[in-house]
Amino acid sequence: MRNKLNNLTNKEWLKFQKSWFIHNPPPRKKGVLAHPAKFPETMAQEFIEFFTKKGETVLDPMAGTGSTLVAALRAGRNSYGIELNPKYAKIARQVIEEERKVLGEKVEGLTSKVIQGDAAKIADFGLSTFDYVLTSPPYWDMLRARGAETQKKRRSSAGLDVHYSDDPNDMGNIADYEEFLSKLVHIYEELKPLLREKAYLTIIVKNVKKGGRIYPLAWDIARELGKTYTLKDEKIWCQNDQRLAPFGLGSAWVSNTFHHYCLQFRNE
């Protein structure tokens, strides 16, 4: 049977089909440490290699420091990334250039382009059709939560950002949850004309705890965006290398949340 989706063997295909996986990423390189919420290239490459064939084109509308684009290079795919923050866009370009030098002739002819701009205005960038979208949005305004343990550690380290930016167009600066959800879903809806028919869109996200309650961000995105694309499935990314904290010890149930939802939509 001809494999219409990717270049994987049957064994590799079956392995990816498990609905959960553990991925503990390698240490981040010094150049990308400034970004406060980066997802690993090693994991991104696995998704790209499943949902595309060599030579196809991947988009990340919230590219950060370029994880998706680096992973696409390693996988032999073309890629485009849109990043609002000029600082991160510059870092992404540097990281991609360094990766190209490492990979050498293997990536000659492949496009890896970072566009500094607002993903909400993607129609203005003159982009052509994509074969896959892989992205991870801000987890609402949680990077503004001063009590977060990881944020405390970053504040004590010079040069490390604790939130994305102070730009009013930055999704991570929207305080109202419903407004944030509406604008985020709209950005993904605007990608539909650029995504070829039957191509996939993967969004890596988690539910959010704030003010003593849980906001089901992943589930709300699945529900709302499912009105535009077909929600096909989910994979659960588990992290088992995180330290446990005694939240609510002796008084209330508060979990240590070490999993993310990788939501798979298809443009049908």
Give the residue numbers spanning the domain of 145.
32-266
pLDDT band at 154 (very low <50, low <70, confident <90, very high): very low
Under 8 Å between Cβ of 32 and 105: no
Query: How far is the first Cα of the chain from the last one, in angstroms, to the nearest whole number?
Result: 23
Please indicate, yes or no, if residue 10 is contained in any of the structural domains: no
CA distance 236 to 61: 22
CATH for 77: 3.40.50.150
Residue at 21 is within a domain:
no
Does the predicted TM-score (pTM) go above 0.85? yes
DSSP 180: H
Rounded mean pLDDT, 171-176: 84
Q: State how far the Cα of 133 lies from the Cα of 36, in Å rounded to an integer.
A: 22
Task: Work out how many domains the chain is built from and give that number.
Answer: 1
Residue 6 within any structural domain of the chain: no
Residue 141's pLDDT band, with cuts at 50, 70 and 90, is: confident
pLDDT digits (tens, 9 = 90+) for 18-71: 999 999 877 756 554 454 456 789 999 999 999 999 999 999 999 999 999 999
pLDDT computed for residue 152 by the predictor? 54
Decide if 19 is inside a domain: no
Extract the tokens encoding 223.
């529900």
Residue 181 lies in a domain: yes
Of residues 29 and 166, more confidence is placed in 166
Cα 265 to Cα 217: distance, rounded to the nearest angstrom:
16
